[in-house]
Amino acid sequence: MNKPLGSVIEGSLTGGLEVRLHPDISVEDMRVGKFLVVRGRQYDFFCLLTDVCLGTSSDRILVNPPHPEDYFLLDVLSGSGTYGTVNLSPMLMLNKFSQIPPSLNGGASLNGKGKKAKSENGKAPLASFEAQTNMEWELLPVKTVPSHFSQVYDANENDFRSVFGWEDDPTRKNFSIGQPLDMDVPVCLDLKKFVERSNGVFGKSGTGKSFLTRLLLAGVIRKKVAVNLIFDMHSEYGWEAVQEGKNVRTVKGLRQLFPNDVIVYTLDPDSSRNRGIKDAQELILSYEMIEIEDLQLVSRELGLSDAALDNASILANSEFGNNWISRLLEMTNEEIKEFCELGKGHQGSISSLQRKLMRLQKLKYLKPISRQNNLKSLMQSLKAGKNIVIEFGNQSDLLSYMLVTNMLTRRIHKMYVDKAELYLQSKQEADRPYPLIITIEEAHRFLDPAIAKSTIFGTIAREMRKFFVTLLIVDQRPSGIDNEIMSQIGTRITALINDEKDIDAIFTGVSGAQGLKSVLAKLDSKQQALVLGHAVPMPVVVRTRPYDQKFYEEIGDPDWGSKSDEEILVAAKAAQMDLGF
């Protein structure tokens, strides 16, 4: 066992524990976010280090401090006159007497993959961790505190695996998102729990949100726990993305990692071809697909007033029906006047609406009438279990992103509602919808408190998994998202955030958040994240998994590396032929 770091000297269930470090332990080795274990008499307490402090036994030492080069006096005072303390927040506890004692398992240990290590005679002894796999003991919520002077230890590999499991556990859909800050052991998400609720990836600009998101999506695809619909605003998820750093390098996107499972649709086919995606499906939409709630969502981008939206409803409810936008854009001033004289609207507002909607004519993916039923093929792909990336290319302005994302999501959500209702009626497993995760960036644009209740994304976030559809929201301004929706977010993976309002928003609906706020504020700006929520047993700070060649080989299709680009293209086209494209 590791040597003890310190002793519990005081604390409470709500305020956490205060631990005095032993004299031979340097306070400089204690870092916020560290995972520690308090070995109590009856329970082991798994804790997160939330603060580091310096203490003295007498104020006289502070009044007359020793000279910095008086090493003898410094050593004399260390541990007695001066000492370090750390604050711990207990997250989980484990009843020691529910575990198999080491004397019964022959001292078996775990190898690097969490499997039973072989003894000297070559036979595999009983591993104590096997009990956790068989659910013979379980982690409990913290409802008490350890006794005075309980010893505190660095968490070892078995402690991490007791809490977070291991990636190749055959009984669970675990996925390693990274490692602890000071150990080489995986920290795993339970992807089955992850897809049960809407989730969020947060962090200020430049902290690697897109890489974290791509990491998560790759895990979901590899473990086959859900199908994904990804609205790729900046073309970072489909084929490849630029890696941040001094040298311009690219990393592989989901299409290259999973050529048989990912299909790319694009609103800008020229841009997609220029970036190497030779088989991207062009997505063409039509005016008749646009509904009033779509215009409400982009009213700020189009400059539409409430009066203009009211008159848009009048036009949509008239004899024009779904073709009202096409008819309006063709109308002359005289025709608008005649329409209004029949008591069907205000001439000035309708003329203004016509001028504002002329911007739609500049969107090359939007046509008055679409002869290509791309939406039907997209929905067939989702039904067939294919993951969809929708690239915006050079059409990535906020108007296009918000308009297209809302239009498509509303229809896909309706498809899933119909499928869920059929399943609830038939109770047949064959009718059970495959879970769908919809990934959106700039999420606060869709989930702002003023509009969240009227958008399809607000509906999905509040429904949780009622209709087998959840969100993965990616945002740098969580304070701009409605509090009710933030409280429904199941798992939150947060890189560095400095703004106080954003930090408060991250912990909306989270108990014991005060200590975690200090942990979040002290993260490094790159490759570190705080993970908490439904898919992990307790909050943990991780050094995120590198997205590199080793990751490609571990996560992608087993034989992807042996195929040329041409072979990947042929395989992808064959998969599309199977879907009837």
pLDDT beyond 80 at 442: yes
pLDDT tens by residue, 489-512: 999 999 999 889 999 999 987 877
Whether the CB-CB separation of 531 and 177 falls below 8 Å is answered with: yes
- The verdict on domain 190-284+372-578 having CATH code 2.40.50.140 is no
Polymer length of the chain: 581
Average pLDDT over residues 205-226: 92
Range of weakest confidence among 13-27, 234-248, 544-558: 234-248
pLDDT of residue 454: 73
What's 413's DSSP letter?
H
Task: Please state the φ and ψ torsions of residue 546, each to the nearest 5 degrees.
Answer: -65, 140
pLDDT beyond 60 at 30: yes
Give the up-direction half-sphere exposure of residue 567: CA atoms within 13 A in the CB hemisphere: 6
Q: What is the mean pLDDT of the chain?
A: 83
Nearest Cα neighbor of 542 from 184, 206, 195, 159 is 184
Nearest Cα neighbor of 346 from 369, 315, 368 is 315
3 state SS of 579: coil
3 state SS of 91: strand
Residue 404 vs residues 16, 113, 398: alpha-carbon distances, Å = 48, 44, 10
pLDDT of residue 221: 94
For residues 399 and 402, give the distance between their C-alpha atoms in angstroms, rounded to a whole number.
6
Residue 213 pLDDT class (50, 70, 90 cuts): very high
Whether the CB-CB separation of 538 and 91 falls below 8 Å is answered with: yes
For residues 95 and 97, give the distance between their C-alpha atoms in angstroms, rounded to a whole number.
6
3 state SS of 85: strand
Kindly report the pTM of this predicted structure. 0.83
Angle between helices 398-426 and 456-463 (to 10 degrees): 40
pLDDT tens by residue, 448-505: 888 877 788 888 888 767 889 999 999 999 999 999 899 889 999 999 998 899 999 9
Nearest Cα neighbor of 86 from 126, 50, 122, 40 is 50
Angle between helices 374-383 and 398-426 (to 10 degrees): 50
pLDDT tens by residue, 370-406: 766 678 888 888 988 999 999 998 887 889 998 999 8
3-state helix, strand, coil in the chain (%, to 5): 40, 20, 40
State CA 116 to chain mean position distance: 32
Angle at 410 between CA 476 and CA 290, to 5 degrees: 100
The single-letter code of the amino acid at 366 is: L
Q: Which residue has the higher pLDDT, 62 or 233?
A: 233
Angle between helices 306-316 and 347-357 (to 10 degrees): 90
pLDDT tens by residue, 248-302: 578 888 999 999 999 999 998 888 888 878 788 888 888 988 989 889 888 888 9
Average pLDDT over residues 31-59: 90
pLDDT beyond 80 at 236: yes
What residues does each domain of the chain span? 6-99+137-155, 190-284+372-578, 287-362
Interacting residues of 413 by C-beta distance below 8 A, sequence separation 6+: 456, 459, 460, 467, 469
Expressed in angstroms, the distance from the first to the final Cα of the chain is 61
pLDDT beyond 50 at 65: yes
Interacting residues of 60 by C-beta distance below 8 A, sequence separation 6+: none
pLDDT tens by residue, 124-164: 333 333 333 333 457 889 999 999 999 999 998 888 888 89
pLDDT of residue 205: 87
The single-letter code of the amino acid at 481 is: I
pLDDT of residue 201: 95
pLDDT tens by residue, 164-210: 988 888 888 999 999 988 888 899 999 999 999 999 999 998 888 99
pLDDT of residue 566: 58
The single-letter code of the amino acid at 319 is: E
